[in-house]
Structure 1
Amino acid sequence: MLAAVYKSPKKEDTYLYVLKRDDFSQVPEPLMNSFGQPIFVLMFNLDKRSSLGIADIEKVRADLLAQGYYLQLPPPTESMLNELTTQKGKK
């Protein structure tokens, strides 16, 4: 299964995977509007990979087959306030 990967010019570390290069017909319009004009990053064969950076490869495959796209969002950032509070509680 081939996947084309695009990065968002509007949202840092946000990527959109689709089955065919430049085919965004399955991606909902509101998502495309918030994502911005997709910037092509790469195309690769999912079947030749056992893992993907921070994305769950099985979730990527399942979403591509079920809905025609997969949206990879950046991991949530830690709140510095929460981290400081946690550190103070440990002392």
Structure 2
Amino acid sequence: MSTVKVSAYKSPKVEELYLFLPTDSLPSDLPDELLVFFGDPQHVIDFDLTPERKLPRADAAEVLASLAEKGYYIQTPPAEKEKITDISLPDLSFDRAPD
């Protein structure tokens, strides 16, 4: 698969929810139901996408396949579990004195 020029948009309604579209497509071309859920897409960046390109939270080949099949790709926020793995909790264990 060759290079696809992609536009990335963020959702104003859901933090860390992103939409990828080919640059020759407009968000207004998307189904109304999707736009109601996503909100008014806010343009973030345009970039060239190849199957080899590293993306932070998505597989480039999956994104390209979705763009070819549906005309868009939705990147959902990380799971809550992923968000809390970076939190360091203090050691709350107690040293018990021997009886």
TM range (shorter): 0.7 to 0.9
- Aligned residue-pair number: 79
Matched, 1:14 2:24: no
RMSD of equivalent CA atoms: 2.1
The higher radius of gyration belongs to 2
**Residue 66 and residue 3 in structure 1: after superposition, are their counterparts in 2 closer, same or farther (change >3 A)?**
same
- Moved beyond 4 Å, runs of 4+: none
Q: Unaligned stretches of 5+ in structure 1?
A: 81-91
Q: Unaligned stretches of 5+ in structure 2?
A: 85-99
What is the alpha-carbon distance in structure 2 between the residues aligned to residue 16 and residue 65 of structure 1? 14
TM norm structure 2: 0.71
Deviates more, 1:13-22 or 1:56-65: 13-22
Aligned to 1:64: 67
Q: CA deviation at 1:49?
A: 5.3
Deviates more, 1:46-55 or 1:7-16: 46-55
Matched, 1:2 2:20: no
Q: Percent identity?
A: 36
Q: Structure 1 or 2: larger helix share?
A: 1
Matched, 1:36 2:39: yes
User: 8 Å contact 2:21–2:73 — kept in the other structure?
Assistant: yes
- Larger RCO, structures 1/2 (Cα 8 Å, 6+ apart): 1
TM norm structure 1: 0.77
1:37 alignment partner, SS class: coil
